[in-house]
Copies of this chain bind each other. A is one copy, B any other.
């Protein structure tokens, strides 16, 4: 079963391909609707993707939830990154005196028969001052619970063993079997 991951991000594709080795890619940035619930965002991405692509399509949405912000940044994390960045995110959690955060990856599979499946990966952790040089995005400020390293201090292999993306794509892989 040929599966195409529709994403504008080489980093995300690289991580996903380590889990599903024959995953193909379409380099396409899809319009994202506003919201703090990922599933409607994914459903809308598929509407856009299916205008130009056929077959079994995969899209993902990454969200980062701060316990102190009740739903934020959520899927809007990319706009927080573009504006206040990691330093600003740390400052917010410090001011709310609550570093707890949950990182989620929701993977959607739109099948040729028209049906839609979701696979969710979630990992709890803490927002910390930036540490580490690996990874991308907010990896330097996210330290998974039970670890003394941030994502950016882990090797790619370590991160990819435990990440929210790993969990979600592993569920997709199991489903495809």
Contact = CB atoms under 8 A, between A and B. Distances in A.
Nearest to A94: B95
A39 to B, nearest CB: 15
Interface residues of A, number: 26
A36 B32 CA distance: 12
Interface string A77-110: 0111011100010011011100000000000000
A88 B72 CA distance: 11
Contact of A33 (B31, B75, B94): B31
B36 A33 contact: no
Nearest to A79: B36
A146 interface: no
Contacts of A114: none
B71 A83 contact: yes
Nearest to A65: B83
Contacts of A44: 31
B33 A33 contact: yes
